[in-house]
Amino acid sequence: MTIVQINTTIAQMLDYTTPILFAALCGVLSESSGVVNIGLDGIMRFGAFFGLLGAFMSNTPWIGLLFGIGIGCLVGALHAFITIKWNGDQTVSGTAINVIATGLMTYLLEYVFSTTGYSPQLQNYFGAQEYRIHLLFLEKIPVIGAFSNLSFMIWLGFICTILVHVLLYHTVLGLRIRTCGENPRAATTLGINVFRVRWFAVVAGAALAGIGGAALSISSFSGFSDSMPNGVGFIGLAAMIFGKWTPFGALGAALLFGTGQIAQSIIAVTGIAPKLAPGLTLILPYVLTLAVLAGFVGKSVAPAADGLPYYKEQR
């Protein structure tokens, strides 16, 4: 492979990585506070559709990004309302969000655009040349050169990783979020409002998942497709676990899974693909996810109170 090919492949890999990363960061933030958000795949679907909608209506991807954040917060608030306010089962609420997202987006796609399967394509999206971050001086360097021409969303993913890390490990709020995820009763005895902290973590996390969805429809691709997000949210959850519930761990895991995605294309290029049954390479990233989870899940420890509703007066 030439330098250009290597760099393009890596850039493509980063493109696949970004939505996974956002999903994983959503999980890290939410679960650090003790709320499992299995609905993040559905939230990504919301984000993908509304991101496209915003970008389509305004003809600028920035509005699409805002739409993605907004819808993420809204659906996150629904999850928080059910699981924190009413102590609903977190898995059931998350699954419901996934199911609603599947049906509602298909409906909205037909209702708004009168099409099935695919939305109209965007001219102005983060993947378009004029919206990319150009660092041309890097172009000729192997590997690093991959960073010379990336979508804004990819950089946003890296920035959010750092932000979530700083939030969780270097701010007062972060220490409190983790306290609520480890021992909400202890948090209560210290005068921390567990409900408020969890609300924040769930909604902020869901905003990240919303961005992750938008990253699919207005950055990696230039439109919404009905199959989005194609299980990326669940791969993100796997990345969160593999990354031991830490932001940088999640980044590492997302990069690994992104590589799994790109491996498909590499296999196609090398010419092995025709010898395999059609579609078999498509399951590669998912097989990788399973393999990694089977191998590592035992060694990665979740926050102690993860997934448990909190009743203040429980005896």
Partner 1 sequence: MKALEVHNISKMFPGNLANDNISFSVEKGEIFAIVGENGAGKSTLMNIIYGIYTPTAGEIYVNEQKARIRSAEDAIQLHMGMVHQEFMLIPRFTVAQNIVVGDEPRKGIFFDYTRAVREVKELSDKVALTVDATAITGDLPVGVQQRVEILKVLRRGAEILIFDEPTAVLTPEETQELFVTMRKLQSQGKTILFISHKLKEVMDIADRIAVLRRGKVQGIVNKKDTNEEELARMMVGRNVVLEIPKVEASVGPVAFSCHDLRVKNARGMETVRDISFDVRGGEIVGIAGVQGNGQDELVNAMIGFTRPTSGSMELNGKSMRLVTTAELRRQGMSYITEDRARRGLVMPYTVRDNSVMGQHLNAPFSRGLRMNYDKIAEFAEGKVREYDIRPGDVLDTAGSLSGGNQQKLILARELSLPHNFLIASQPTRGLDVGATEFVYRKLLEEKKSGKAILLISLELSEILGLSDRILVMFEGHIVGETTPDKTTEEALGLLMLGVGVDRKVVS
Q: Binding residue for partner 1 (CB under 8 A) from 116, 136, 170, 275? A: 170
Question: Half-sphere exposure (CA, 13 Å, Cβ side) for 104?
Answer: 16
Rounded to a whole number of angstroms, the minimum distance from the CB of residue 170 to partner 1 is 5
Q: Binding residue for partner 1 (CB under 8 A) from 45, 79, 132, 178? A: 178
Under a CB-based contact definition with an 8 Å cutoff, are residues 76 and 207 in contact? yes
- Phi then psi for residue 151, to 5 deg, are -65, 150
Q: Which of the residues 184 through 223 are near partner 1 (CB under 8 A)? A: 185-192
Rounded to a whole number of angstroms, the minimum distance from the CB of residue 171 to partner 1 is 5
Burial of 43 by CB count in 10 Å (0-12 exposed, 13-18 middle, 19+ buried)?
buried
* 299 near partner 1 (CB under 8 A): no
* 183 near partner 1 (CB under 8 A): yes
Return the closest-CA partner of residue 53 out of 100, 102, 109, 114.
109
Residue 172 vs 294, nearer CB to partner 1: 172
Residue 60 vs 244, nearer CB to partner 1: 244
Rounded to a whole number of angstroms, the minimum distance from the CB of residue 23 to partner 1 is 24
* 244 near partner 1 (CB under 8 A): no
Sole window of 38-46, 180-188, 235-243, 263-271 interacting with partner 1 (rule: CB under 8 A): 180-188
Rounded to a whole number of angstroms, the minimum distance from the CB of residue 84 to partner 1 is 17
Under a CB-based contact definition with an 8 Å cutoff, are residues 68 and 126 in contact? no
Under a CB-based contact definition with an 8 Å cutoff, are residues 143 and 6 in contact? yes
* 172 near partner 1 (CB under 8 A): yes
* Whole-angstrom distance, CA of residue 101 vs CA of residue 31: 21
For residue 126 the two structure tokens come to 């983060």
Rounded to a whole number of angstroms, the minimum distance from the CB of residue 192 to partner 1 is 5
Sole window of 34-42, 97-105, 141-149, 183-191 interacting with partner 1 (rule: CB under 8 A): 183-191
Under a CB-based contact definition with an 8 Å cutoff, are residues 32 and 208 in contact? no
Return the closest-CA partner of residue 39 out of 215, 204, 180, 234.
234
Under a CB-based contact definition with an 8 Å cutoff, are residues 35 and 227 in contact? no
Question: Which residues bind to partner 1, rule: CB under 8 A?
Answer: 170-176, 178-179, 182-183, 185-192, 304, 312-313, 315
